[in-house]
Structure 1
Amino acid sequence: MKIALVATEKLPVPAIRGGAIQIYLDSVASYIGKTENVTVISIKDPDLPESEKRSNVEYIRFDEHRYLEEVTRHVSQVHYDVVHLCNRPAWLTQLAEAAPKTKFILSVHNEMFAPDKLSDQEGKQCISAASKIITVSDYIGKTITSRFKQAQVKTKTVYSGVDLGEYQPRWSSEGAKTYERVRSELGLAGKKVILFVGRLSKVKGPHILLQALPHIIENHRDAMLVFVGSKWFGDDDINNYVKHLYTLGALYPDNVTFIKFVKPRDIPGLYAMSDVFVCSSQWQEPLARVHYEAMAAGLPIITSNRGGNPEVIDEGKNGYIIDDFENPEAYAFRLNQLLADSKKRHLLGKNGRAKVEAGFGWQTVANNLLRVYQQANKHFDK
């Protein structure tokens, strides 16, 4: 099959500026490209050529200001068997009209079918134009099918994934070396490290973790809360909310560290040097990919009961779900439990690694996608 994977107009592929969708597309493309003809389409970036071939995958990049126009022209001129469009349901009708013989797969990574983003008419047209709709979690699937019943027969959850070789748990020889190296570089030897990775925005809840810190320090004076991220992907500018976080963190100079935007290649080392991972999202998270990364690194997970996050947590086996997600003390309670019990941390981390190996490696994700493409190409005629 000749397949195009189309990113949004926000960030380039490969994910040199970050972005979950960009990581997802670049990762699955390399696997699908082993057997199929694959092209990845994204926006231009000054650090990337307008077109190139990497291994077995073609990359084409268009101007972000004319992105939809140029993608539409491209798919109308190049006959693709399947076009996999990410997160832009409002574009689908236009693209399908431009390439009537192509099967279109829409993957939905956020609540893109919400009424404020898509009218009833637009939603119905999109669903009609799509051969299949795949979602990153059951939660996101329900946001579509609860509004548009006709989408049920086309909608399927295909979970995202992680590079199992790139993320190494501490008990592996490579992970053990990384653990010592990164802790030495950051001056964190002897600390019990609680890791947060994500945008420093109110919806991600980092302020709640800072509010939880006094309750943690009472029991673990050697605790270190490490925040990795900035206000937006690749943007280290400081807004008022980030200033507030820095002010709170400054009250605990021995227990809080902020690390700004980190290049994707450096992220695995930060997981490897940590003891516990925490996701304090306050919004209805689709299913944050940090959960896969933490499991791959062998970390126990504490996550909020928001959106799709709980779907990858087996309570008490690879982590814990915080139902009282706005309450700092709820996080502190679970964090104190895990920081006090290294055997429990290890057991939960082992279970998490086994879970991600069984179902969330990029090869598995690519296989799942390929089956969807094959079904669409075989069974749906427009």
Structure 2
Amino acid sequence: MRIAFICTEKLPSPAIKGGAIQLLIDGIAPFFAEKRSLTIFSITDPSLPIYEIRDGIEYVRVPKEQYEQHIANELNKRTFDVIHVFNRPANVLRYKQAAPNSRFVTSLHNDMFSPMKMKRDVAERVVAEVDLITTVSAYMKRTVTKRYNVPDDNIQVVYSGVDATRYMPPWTDEGKQMRNDMRRRFLAEDDDVILFIGRLSETKGVHVLIESMNHVLAHHPKAKLIIVGGKWFSDNRPNEYVRFLHRLAKPYKDRIQFTNYIPSEHIPHVFTIGDVFVCSSQWHEPLARVHYEAMAAGVPIITTNRGGNSEVIEHHKNGLVIDDYASPKAFACAINELLHDKEKALALAYEGRKRAETAFSFANTAEQLERLYITICQ
């Protein structure tokens, strides 16, 4: 079976500049390369060749400008059994013209079928033409099936995954050593570290998390919020919201620390500094992949009941889920609970790690996708 993965036009593959889709592809690609022919299409990057074969995987990179047309031209030159279009369902229509004999899968990592992103007649054509739609959460599946008549067999939830072997839980010898080293590097040796990792955008709710610190510090004076990320995956240039966050954090002095963007390969080490990890999403998050990473790292998780987040984080089982997502006090109560009750925090972390190793491994994601590819080719 010859398989093609088509990335979005935002970031290159492999995930040298991060990106949830690119990280997912990096994780599942080796499993397909073991027994299938795999080609990955993405945008060019100055640090990557236009064409290469790496670890048995063919990479084809085209300019970001007129990306869709460039990809269609490349598809004309090759033959694939399955073409998987990541998070750009509307592009399927052009790609199918270029490869009419291929089976097409499109995966939804955001609400790309929203009327604000795709006209209804285009969406209906995509639903009719595509062989399979996968979604990163049941929530995302519902956003499609509420609007369009999609046969149940033609839309499947496929959760993302993580390579748990890259993460060092704090109860392991390696994790303890890395934790000590990283906490020295971040000047947080004696602190209770609350960790945020993600893009600095209003939808991610970093401002609410900063506002919660007044209530946290009243109970835990050694608490320190470390905010990892930039306005975009590899872009640390400030914008209005980032400047607002720095103004909001200024009164807290060294109790709030911004690191800017940290490359994805270093993130497993960064997780070791955390006593609590918080996903403060304010929007209907499709399902942030950082949850998988925090579970693998063995850090107790606090998240919001927005979108698909609560599908992988169960309240009081492998994390805490906040309903009152816009309330700084709600975040502070959850943070204080886990900083106070270390035994409970550790139990949540253990369960999260177990689920990362079993239910949410990249191997599971790849196996599920392969079964679906085989089914649509029969």
CA deviations 1:32-90 (Å, max 9, x no partner) are: 11010001110000010001111121111001102111111111220100000001111
Q: AA paired with 1:286? A: P
* In 2, Cα distance between equivalents of 1:9 and 1:80: 21
* In 1, Cα distance between equivalents of 2:168 and 2:105: 33
Q: How does 1:164-313 map to 2 (within 5 A)?
A: 164-313=164-313
CA deviations 1:76-125 (Å, max 9, x no partner) are: 22010000000111111111122111000101100000011111211111
Please give the TM-score of this superposition, normalised by the length of structure 1. 0.97
Q: AA paired with 2:147? A: R
* In 2, Cα distance between equivalents of 1:168 and 1:367: 25
Structure 2 partner of 1:2: 2
SS in structure 2 at match of 1:218: helix
* In 1, Cα distance between equivalents of 2:39 and 2:98: 18
Q: AA paired with 2:60? A: I
* In 1, Cα distance between equivalents of 2:343 and 2:16: 37
Q: AA paired with 1:22? A: Q
* In 1, Cα distance between equivalents of 2:58 and 2:172: 34
SS in structure 2 at match of 1:13: coil
Question: Conserved in 2, the CA contact under 8 Å of 1:276 and 1:299?
Answer: yes
Once the two structures are TM-superposed, the CA of residue 254 in structure 1 deviates from its matched residue by 2.9
* In 2, Cα distance between equivalents of 1:372 and 1:160: 15
SS in structure 1 at match of 2:58: strand
* In 2, Cα distance between equivalents of 1:174 and 1:258: 26
Structure 2 partner of 1:50: 50
Structure 2 partner of 1:349: 349
Once the two structures are TM-superposed, the CA of residue 185 in structure 1 deviates from its matched residue by 1.0
Please give the TM-score of this superposition, normalised by the length of structure 2. 0.98
Q: How does 1:349-368 map to 2 (within 5 A)?
A: 349-368=349-368
Once the two structures are TM-superposed, the CA of residue 151 in structure 1 deviates from its matched residue by 4.5
The range that moved more, 63-72 or 217-226, is 63-72
* In 2, Cα distance between equivalents of 1:276 and 1:54: 37
Q: AA paired with 2:228? A: V
Once the two structures are TM-superposed, the CA of residue 173 in structure 1 deviates from its matched residue by 2.0
CA deviations 1:313-346 (Å, max 9, x no partner) are: 1210111111000000000001001001111111
CA deviations 1:338-373 (Å, max 9, x no partner) are: 001111111100000011111111111111111111
Question: Conserved in 2, the CA contact under 8 Å of 1:278 and 1:302?
Answer: yes
Question: Conserved in 2, the CA contact under 8 Å of 1:167 and 1:297?
Answer: yes
* In 2, Cα distance between equivalents of 1:36 and 1:177: 39
Structure 2 partner of 1:321: 321
- Alignment length, in residue pairs? 378
Q: AA paired with 1:107? A: S
Q: How does 1:5-16 map to 2 (within 5 A)?
A: 5-16=5-16
Q: AA paired with 2:33? A: G
Structure 1 partner of 2:331: 331
Structure 1 partner of 2:158: 158
Q: AA paired with 2:64? A: E
* In 1, Cα distance between equivalents of 2:151 and 2:115: 15
SS in structure 2 at match of 1:64: coil
* In 2, Cα distance between equivalents of 1:30 and 1:293: 19
SS in structure 2 at match of 1:134: strand
The range that moved more, 171-180 or 79-88, is 171-180
* In 1, Cα distance between equivalents of 2:241 and 2:115: 28
Once the two structures are TM-superposed, the CA of residue 311 in structure 1 deviates from its matched residue by 0.5
Question: Conserved in 2, the CA contact under 8 Å of 1:164 and 1:357?
Answer: yes
Runs (4 or more) in structure 1 with deviation over 6 Å come to none
Structure 2 partner of 1:87: 87
Structure 2 partner of 1:105: 105
* In 2, Cα distance between equivalents of 1:188 and 1:161: 30
SS in structure 1 at match of 2:5: strand
Once the two structures are TM-superposed, the CA of residue 158 in structure 1 deviates from its matched residue by 0.2
* In 2, Cα distance between equivalents of 1:75 and 1:373: 18
Q: AA paired with 1:358? A: T
Once the two structures are TM-superposed, the CA of residue 221 in structure 1 deviates from its matched residue by 0.3
Task: Give the unaligned 5+ runs of structure 2.
Answer: none
Question: Conserved in 2, the CA contact under 8 Å of 1:144 and 1:151?
Answer: no
* In 1, Cα distance between equivalents of 2:244 and 2:73: 46
Q: AA paired with 1:120? A: R
* In 2, Cα distance between equivalents of 1:376 and 1:125: 18
Question: Conserved in 2, the CA contact under 8 Å of 1:136 and 1:159?
Answer: yes
- Tell me the C-alpha RMSD between the 2 structures: 0.9
SS in structure 1 at match of 2:150: helix
- Identical columns (%): 42
Structure 1 partner of 2:373: 373
Question: Conserved in 2, the CA contact under 8 Å of 1:212 and 1:331?
Answer: yes
Q: AA paired with 1:281? A: S
Question: Conserved in 2, the CA contact under 8 Å of 1:282 and 1:325?
Answer: yes
Question: Conserved in 2, the CA contact under 8 Å of 1:127 and 1:151?
Answer: no
SS in structure 2 at match of 1:42: strand
Structure 1 partner of 2:32: 32
Structure 1 partner of 2:115: 115
Q: AA paired with 2:318? A: N
